Amino acid sequence: MAEVTQSASVAAAALAAGQLVALPTETVYGLGASIDHAKAVERVFQVKNRPNEHPLIVHVEADADLSHWATRVPATATALVEAFWPGPLTLVIPKSDNVPGSVTGGQNTVALRSPDSPHFLEVLAELSRLTGAPAAIAAPSANLFGQVSPTTAEHVQDGLGSRLDPSDIILDGGPSEVGIESTIVLCRDQDVEVLRPGGITEEDLAQIATVTPSVHESVTSSDAQPRVSGSLESHYSPAAQVIVLEPEESIDDLAASQEVDLESLGIIALESETVKLGGATELARPNNSEAYAAQLYAALRKADDLGLRTVVAVTPPNVGIGVAIRDRLKRAAS
Ligand code: TXA
Ligand code: MG
């Protein structure tokens, strides 16, 4: 069991001492370790049950000197940092020797992000003061591998509490506002490639850099070496079976055709969708796509808490953050 606190300095001191700290971000909560503590980084993988070759995102201050962490900083990366940091955008660039290979799963690139969370940014600043060096916190989402990411400190406690040490910390910064993970982009000199859709939309990115359609989509096939673990086909999965519907598909038809037991069915759909199903549980009825993202993971957890067998999620329109929501729903469903 870890200590829950709201104090950034308590959290920073624990990281400096080589403990694990679950940290709030605007996307989801992360399970953090200072990259200077090899044992702590190793424990992140153990606590999550995460295979060692799945690289971790390294979180840095918004004004970090990227050339400390990278051998070469493509112009696209500099421009995206300027536009979107701190924020839900992770940049993959060639790593320098200041990033241990254990953090990057042995790859020669590093994924860097500066989260838009006052708590997290305070921890980074304090950690840097304590150590007298640039702060870097490796932090995957604070859930067991393959399960739904946490968007509150309570979710972290429920999922990982029993696997953490008494001197580990959970920093409670309230619910995550964006609700789904950051956008991950591979940065090249002339263009960028989206490896995982997320909080920063393709429309946002296109204002700043040339976005080339991803050639890495094949990493979702199970025999390929996964470069982006969030791109495994089955991920973000609750225990309940998730069925994804396009907006034009009718829940009523589905219920009729599959003989779904309404008593054990939960529904996630935009408020604008007409859903009339007596007996089913409304898990979330957000009024726009941003609210859908913010509520999605808590709704999937609620389904499991209630012991529901099936969740029907009607996708939002495939634009903006809707693209990332559909991506997560599809993975939760497989
Ligand atoms: O919003 C987020 O990104 C959250 C918060 C905590 O920052 N973090 C997160 O971490 O979602 P995680 O570990 O659940 O997902 C990180 C993804 C993984 O799919 C990993 O494979 C990918 O980032 N990744 C990390 N380093 C990479 C690299 N060098 N090249 C390609 N993908 C990388
Ligand atoms: Mg994750």
- Indicate whether 221 belongs to any domain: no
Residue 216 alpha carbon to ligand 2 centre in Å: 18
Residues 175 and 80 in one domain: yes
DSSP code at position 23: E
Residues 164 and 16 in one domain: yes
**Ligand lying closest to the C-alpha of residue 198:** 1
Largest CA distance in the chain: 64
Give the pLDDT band (50/70/90) at residue 255.
low
Pocket mutation for ligand 1, best pick of 229, 234, 235 (most atoms within 8 Å of C-beta): 229
Report how many domains make up the chain.
2
Residues 181 and 245 in one domain: no
124 vs 232 pLDDT, higher one? 124
Question: 191: burial class by Cβ within 10 Å (0-12, 13-18, 19+)?
Answer: middle
Give the pLDDT band (50/70/90) at residue 247.
confident
Give the pLDDT band (50/70/90) at residue 276.
confident
Residues 306 and 165 in one domain: no
Look at residue 253 and tell me whether its pLDDT is greater than 60.
yes
**Ligand lying closest to the C-alpha of residue 220:** 1
Q: How far is CA 320 from the centre of its chain?
A: 17
Amino acid at 93: I
Could you give the CA distance from residue 16 to residue 102 in angstroms, rounded to a whole number? 18
Please give the structure tokens belonging to residue 3.
């200590």
- Indicate whether 120 belongs to any domain: yes
Look at residue 225 and tell me whether its pLDDT is greater than 50.
no
Could you give the CA distance from residue 50 to residue 36 in angstroms, rounded to a whole number? 20
Could you give the CA distance from residue 145 to residue 68 in angstroms, rounded to a whole number? 30
Residues 65 and 143 in one domain: yes
Pocket mutation for ligand 1, best pick of 28, 57, 147 (most atoms within 8 Å of C-beta): 57
- Indicate whether 233 belongs to any domain: no
- Indicate whether 220 belongs to any domain: no
Pocket mutation for ligand 1, best pick of 53, 113, 181 (most atoms within 8 Å of C-beta): 181
At residue 190, the pLDDT reads 96
Pocket mutation for ligand 1, best pick of 48, 143, 228, 237 (most atoms within 8 Å of C-beta): 228
At residue 232, the pLDDT reads 57
Spell out the alpha helix ranges (H) of 22-147: 38-48, 75-84, 118-131
**Beta-sheet pairing, 183-187 with 21-23:** unpaired
At residue 220, the pLDDT reads 34
Give the pLDDT band (50/70/90) at residue 26.
very high
Residue 183 alpha carbon to ligand 2 centre in Å: 12
Rounded to the nearest 5 degrees, what angle is found at the Cα of 197, between the Cα atoms of 202 and 310?
A: 130
- Indicate whether 230 belongs to any domain: no
Look at residue 30 and tell me whether its pLDDT is greater than 50.
yes
CATH of the domain at 189: 3.90.870.10
Look at residue 94 and tell me whether its pLDDT is greater than 50.
yes
Per-residue pLDDT tens digits for 314-327 = 999 999 999 999 99
Q: What percent of the chain has pLDDT over 70?
A: 92
Instruction: Report in angstroms the alpha-carbon separations of 304 from 93, 107, 239, 240, 265.
Output: 38, 36, 6, 6, 11
At residue 97, the pLDDT reads 97
**Ligand lying closest to the C-alpha of residue 146:** 2
Look at residue 248 and tell me whether its pLDDT is greater than 90.
no
Considering the entire predicted model, what is its pTM?
Answer: 0.94
Phi first, then psi: what are they for 38, rounded to 5°? -60, -40
Per-residue pLDDT tens digits for 278-306 = 789 999 999 999 999 999 999 999 999 99
CA nearest neighbour of 124 among 6, 32, 199 = 32
Residue 260 alpha carbon to ligand 2 centre in Å: 30
Which residues contact residue 146 at a Cβ distance below 8 angstroms, ignoring those fewer than 6 apart? 232, 234, 235, 236, 237
Residues 79 and 189 in one domain: yes
Residues 247 and 202 in one domain: no
Residues 194 and 267 in one domain: no
Structural domain ending residue among the three candidates 186, 206, 226: 206
Mean of pLDDT values over 228-235: 57
CATH of the domain at 250: 3.40.50.11030
Question: What atom in ligand 1 is closest to the CA of residue 90?
Answer: 3
Residue 328 alpha carbon to ligand 2 centre in Å: 11
Per-residue pLDDT tens digits for 114-159 = 999 999 999 999 999 999 999 999 999 999 998 999 999 999 999 9
- Indicate whether 297 belongs to any domain: yes
Helix (H, G, I), strand (E, B) or coil at 130: helix
Could you give the CA distance from residue 187 to residue 193 in angstroms, rounded to a whole number? 7
Residues 189 and 70 in one domain: yes
At residue 137, the pLDDT reads 98
For residue 43, give its domain range: 3-206
Mean of pLDDT values over 243-255: 79
Question: What atom in ligand 1 is closest to the CA of residue 226?
Answer: 21
Count helices and strands (H / E) in the chain: 9, 15
Residues 16 and 154 in one domain: yes
Look at residue 70 and tell me whether its pLDDT is greater than 70.
yes
Residues 77 and 162 in one domain: yes
At residue 262, the pLDDT reads 80
At residue 260, the pLDDT reads 72
- Indicate whether 278 belongs to any domain: yes
Residues 172 and 259 in one domain: no
Could you give the CA distance from residue 45 to residue 106 in angstroms, rounded to a whole number? 14
- Indicate whether 213 belongs to any domain: no
Pocket of ligand 1 (CB under 6 A): 25, 27-28, 30, 54-57, 88, 90, 92, 104, 107, 109-111, 113, 115, 139-141, 181-182, 184, 195, 227-230
